[in-house]
Amino acid sequence: MQKKKNRKPTGPNNPHDKIARHFLQYPDVAVGLVHYSVPETMIGRIDMHSLAPGKESFVDHHLAAHILDICYTGCLKDGTNLRISFLFEHKSSRTGSSVYFQLRRYIVQVNQMEMQQGLKPSMVIPILLYHGTVPFRKESLSDLFPGYSEEFAPVIPDFDYYVVDVNEISEESLDNLQSALLLNFLRVLMGGINPDKIAAVWDNFLIFVSGMPNPGQTLDLLQAVMAYFQRVSPEFKQTYQDMGYQYEYVTPEELQVKAFFDNYVIPRVKKLQEEERERLREDSIKEGINAGRNEGLERTIITFMKNAPHYSDTDLAGLFEVAPEFIHRLREKMKS
């Protein structure tokens, strides 16, 4: 009897892919990424309430080696079918195949599959969530078809796609996100390519999940992020192995995770919150002291200026080691 050959997994087996798929199953994260990346003029035409996770996967095994597809289906406000595809690029560099041609191939596959099923081709909006360590440079047609004049433009296939480059997201952009779940997802991805940030990201994530109203989602996300950080950071993995906790996606141990949550997460969060309260208290005291010092310095300088009006702003600034603008403001204050 012949032995059965072991089948190779058909889907990507990459920790970055897994954490992306895990978070993007939550519509709050997916819809937040649409708002973040797609122009407002286009957002206004989409029925955002119609978006729901799609069950289909259209990417073949060649493309799946580089890109993980996560689809959301819905419609425009006029009823036109819509597919928003999150394409998670996890290369660590921009070498190799053209992303433009990978995405074009993906769009063609989607529409071909729909037509084979007797469906009208849907509008596809590709959103590339890039997670490489090298900043992403979006390709243009002039990069791909150099040297051709405008006369050939009609025969060159053109489309656009939107990029969320984890490397390039600013703190200001993160602070402006309305979805706390999306914010934590992006911070987790940042930790995945910057292991030195994992400790801070982990503590902030613990505070976030401990406040979630749904215990099932709390434990689900806690287990997913913990497994992800164990895969990308040997130091993180060793820390939690030493504590006797180890999790894998293939064998979720919900009771163990619950015990970990009760015995570690809650006490850890309480400690972090107490440290934050103490920091805020100390900052308030320092601000009060500095305010008192500034008030006293102002009174001293004003008194000096009254007794020695011939001193210039520059001389006073050098004497009291302050900026000339500070002296000027005091003079204006004395006039009022």
Asked if residue 88 and residue 22 are part of one domain, the reply reads: yes
Backbone angles phi, psi at 154, to 5 degrees: -60, -25
- 167 assigned to some structural domain: yes
Asked if residue 167 and residue 26 are part of one domain, the reply reads: yes
How long, in residues, is the chain?
336
- What pLDDT score does 94 carry? 56
Asked if residue 95 and residue 228 are part of one domain, the reply reads: yes
The overall pTM is greater than 0.85 = no
Place of tokens 């799609």: 54
Amino acid letter, 135: P
Tokens in use for 181? 């779940």
Asked if residue 226 and residue 293 are part of one domain, the reply reads: no
CB burial of residue 291 (10 Å; 0-12, 13-18, 19+): exposed
- What pLDDT score does 130 carry? 85
- What pLDDT score does 183 carry? 93
- pLDDT band at 113; cut points 50, 70, 90: confident
> At residue 163, does pLDDT exceed 70?
yes
> At residue 105, does pLDDT exceed 50?
yes
Residue 315, domain extent:
283-335
Shortest CA distance to 87 belongs to which of 190, 25, 17? 17
- pLDDT band at 5; cut points 50, 70, 90: very low
Average pLDDT on 74-99 reads 73
Cα-to-chain-centroid distance, residue 198: 14
- What pLDDT score does 32 carry? 92
In three-state secondary structure terms, 89 is strand
Residues 204-241 have pLDDT tens digits of 888 888 888 787 788 888 888 988 998 888 888 887 76
CA–CA distance, 219 with 209 (Å, rounded to integer): 8
Whole-number average pLDDT of the chain: 77
- What pLDDT score does 29 carry? 92
Percent over 90 (pLDDT), the chain: 10
Q: Is the dihedral of CA 104, 109, 112, 117 positive or negative?
A: negative
Average pLDDT on 137-161 reads 82
Last residue of a domain, one of 226, 254, 273: 273
Residues 23-51 have pLDDT tens digits of 988 989 989 999 999 999 999 999 999 98
Asked if residue 295 and residue 260 are part of one domain, the reply reads: no
Which region among 63-72, 88-97, 129-138, 191-200 has the lowest average model confidence (pLDDT)? Answer: 88-97
CA–CA distance, 77 with 68 (Å, rounded to integer): 28
> E strands, 207-329, where?
none
Higher pLDDT, 60 or 301: 301
- 146 assigned to some structural domain: no
Counting the structural domains of the chain, the total is 2
- What pLDDT score does 4 carry? 42
- 288 assigned to some structural domain: yes
Asked if residue 260 and residue 308 are part of one domain, the reply reads: no
Average pLDDT on 97-102 reads 79
Higher pLDDT, 319 or 4: 319
Over its C-alpha atoms, the chain yields an Rg (Å, rounded) of 28
- 310 assigned to some structural domain: yes
Tokens in use for 77? 């406000």
Average pLDDT on 68-83 reads 83
In three-state secondary structure terms, 154 is helix
Average pLDDT on 150-159 reads 82
